[in-house]
Amino acid sequence: MHIGLLGCGRWGKLILTTLTGLGIRVTVYDTDPDTRRLAVPLGAAASGASVADLANTDGLIVATPASTHRAVLEQIAYLGKPIFVEKPLATSYADALSIARLAMPPTFLMHIWRYHPGIRLMGELSQSGVLGEVLLLKTSRTNWTSPRTDTDSLRTLAPHDLTILLQILGYLPNPTAAVAERHGGVIRGLTAFLGLAPACVIDISTRYADKRREVRVHGTKGVAVLAGEKADCIDVWFGDDQTPVADWRHERLPFDTTPPLQLELMAFLEYLQGGKAPLSPLAEGVDIIRLLDAIEELT
């Protein structure tokens, strides 16, 4: 297998080392000469400054800043190689629609939380009826500032939470209300409400000193919690709204701890070898951007 990796910055380096750890040959394309020089010591077979260097690859992974995705995809569509694009697809719905109108080869989004074993287990719990009727789904995603400077916190963080809702519920609920914290007109924190039955709440911010990644599903028979991205189990407290604390039944449900990045890259590699398609087609990426714009319009 030979993969072309476009972009070898902070996240691109993680993709590169994960691919080479899986025994994959990688050629890196990056416009920055310093980044290109670092790629080979990190494990790349080669690096270059032209997309033509990727013509002999089996598939392409785009890990450039989101604001460049439209231009990059326009550049590489002619190669005809299947493409895996880092989230978000774009920084505006207009750009997302322009990408969708391109004559693209098979293109998929790297919505990493859809591959998280803990989130997949929460989806199974929610849909099995073990928790009773699901009443509330809440996500919290906070940290201090962001290495992504080309867009705001809504488009940096919330795509993860929207795809978590999708993975757990099986659909994307429509936004109903939102409040935002803006600094210089730029969204740095936001709470959004989506759907009604169940109600969904996503809370994001780059103004927290501590990093939080919590997902909660509240049902009539119990509450399931994924405490963070590094957790190795789901905590479930069984009981209804009248159950005394002394009568709670607590279970810890372990899950596979393979890193989600490795799992999503393996899904793309399996597709290139004739397997099933990755979870998030291009249309899903477009729909996520539509919802982000809809949420912003509510603030």
- CATH number for the domain that contains residue 212: 3.30.360.10
Residue 265 has pLDDT above 90, yes or no: yes
| Percent of the chain residues past pLDDT 90, beyond the cut | 94
In which domain, by residue range, is 240 found?
114-258+290-297
Write out pLDDT tens, residues 98-145: 999 999 999 999 999 999 999 999 999 999 999 999 999 999 999 999
Q: How many Cα neighbours within 13 Å face the side chain of 16?
A: 29
Average pLDDT, the chain: 96
Q: Kindly report the pTM of this predicted structure.
A: 0.95
Same domain, 149 and 231: yes
Number of domains in the chain: 2
Same domain, 60 and 147: no
Same domain, 160 and 178: yes
Write out pLDDT tens, residues 164-208: 999 999 999 999 999 999 999 999 999 999 999 999 999 999 999
Same domain, 121 and 247: yes
Same domain, 193 and 219: yes
Same domain, 93 and 118: no
Residue 237 has pLDDT above 90, yes or no: yes
Strands (E), the chain: 2-6, 25-29, 46-48, 59-62, 83-86, 107-110, 134-144, 175-183, 186-194, 199-205, 207-219, 222-226, 233-238, 249-254
Same domain, 9 and 30: yes
Domain CATH number, residue 20: 3.40.50.720
Q: Which of 36-40, 56-60, 250-254 has the lowest mean pLDDT?
A: 36-40
Using DSSP's 3-state secondary structure scheme, residue 152 falls into coil
Same domain, 244 and 146: yes
Same domain, 219 and 269: no
